[in-house]
Amino acid sequence: MNKAYKYRLYPNGEQATLINKTFGCVRFVYNKMLTDRISVYEQYRDNKEELKRQKYKRPADFKEEYPWLKEVDSLALANAQLNLQRAYANFFRDKTVGFPKFKSKRRSNKTYTTNNQNGTIRLIDGQTIRLPKLKDVKIKLHRPLPEDAVIKSATISCTSTNKYYLSILVEYGAEITPVEPTMGTVLGLDYSSGSLYVDSNGESAEYPRFYRKAESKLKKEQRKLSRRKEGGSNWKKQRQRVAKLHEKTANQRKDFLHHMSRQIANAYDAVGVEDINMRSMAQCLNLAKSTNDNGFGMLRNFLDYKLTEQGKQLVVMDKWYPSSKTCFPCKNINHDLKLSDRTWTCPKCGAVLERDPNAACNIQYEACRLLGLVS
């Protein structure tokens, strides 16, 4: 079983300089190889057989022309090549994915991945880790790795507030015993813009809306940033203040979602959720701030891997399943129901239903049906 553990890194001045240099070299090599692939694609786009026969430049081919590429970890450059190959293959597999794009110096994520070869990545003690080219780097090991864990790779990243993190991918032997759910151990979750979700027990998450709480302070700091001269020292300081506010909000949201997903994964054997495209929902409705703030998509991802680790299941409904329009007591579908109707009366059985709890109960029932618990 593979699992990644993320820790805070504390590099010294020289190590931070080399890490930042590696970020730039990885981005540079990625863009150079992409330029090469674009020129070949434009030349042979109408001849697919000839296009498949073409050979592209590797990171090592650029080191003679750009000798400063030799200063950084060669495996980081090799992984940039693999990332480009994966993006290129995805484009030909599904054209809607889009052609690979160039990495911007300002907007792209500062990250690179290096592999463990013969112990080049290893923990020295509880406070130090050995990394290629960087040697010994201080680390905050807030939780230990599994005893039989074998380190496969390490990904170093830097946030906009200049904090360094290390994600260690390990492989360890973990036996996952499948859990057979019952009717009482299946939970249905219906998305709620205001409270994150409403479950089939009628309870809501009571999401604290971290972005809304920080919005007034964020507006004030962003207004100050807009008045600074771009590129100046005061502009850089103010940009850091804005970035710290965004980072704090994101960390609060992630912490809350981790706690909620852990409680649900420990209490239930299966969880049913809707197949919702959160990005499209934020764009097509006047709910962009609320949709992006509560992070229901992130909660769904957290539930997926936490349930899988325990041998449990995340059941995703069909995209067109009418959970809100179906009356839970009699299963009649009300096609005339509008989005603004939060409480409605079933025209067949006369039951008075609240939209979100009723939808959550329908999701739970559909999850039980998909699991074979009901016919």
* Beta-strand runs (E) in the chain: 2-10, 110-115, 122-125, 128-131, 135-140, 150-158, 164-171, 186-192, 196-199, 270-273, 313-316, 343-345, 352-354
Catalytic residue among 199, 269, 356, 366: 356
Task: Report d(CA 207, CA 334) in Å as an integer.
Answer: 29
Exposed/middle/buried for residue 88 (C-beta within 10 Å: 0-12, 13-18, 19+): middle
Q: Are the C-beta atoms of 189 and 199 separated by less than 8 Å? A: yes
Task: Report d(CA 277, CA 295) in Å as an integer.
Answer: 12
Catalytic residue among 190, 221, 269, 366: 190
Task: Give the total residue count for the chain.
Answer: 375
The CA distances from residue 137 to 12, 65, 238, in Å, are: 8, 31, 29
Using H for helix, E for strand and C for coil, what is the string for 5-39?
EEEEEECCHHHHHHHHHHHHHHHHHHHHHHHHHHH
Per DSSP, the three-state class of 295 is coil
Q: Are the C-beta atoms of 131 and 154 separated by less than 8 Å? A: yes
Task: Report d(CA 60, CA 128) in Å as an integer.
Answer: 31
Catalytic residue flag (residue 190): yes
Using H for helix, E for strand and C for coil, what is the string for 164-188?
EEEEEEEECCCCCCCCCCCHHHEEE
Task: Report d(CA 178, CA 313) in Å as an integer.
Answer: 9
Task: Report d(CA 112, CA 25) in Å as an integer.
Answer: 10
What type of residue sits at position 180? E
The CA distances from residue 361 to 147, 160, 206, 333, 365, in Å, are: 42, 42, 18, 14, 6
Tokens coding 35? 């330029």
Catalytic residue among 221, 274, 293, 366: 274
Catalytic residues: 190, 274, 356
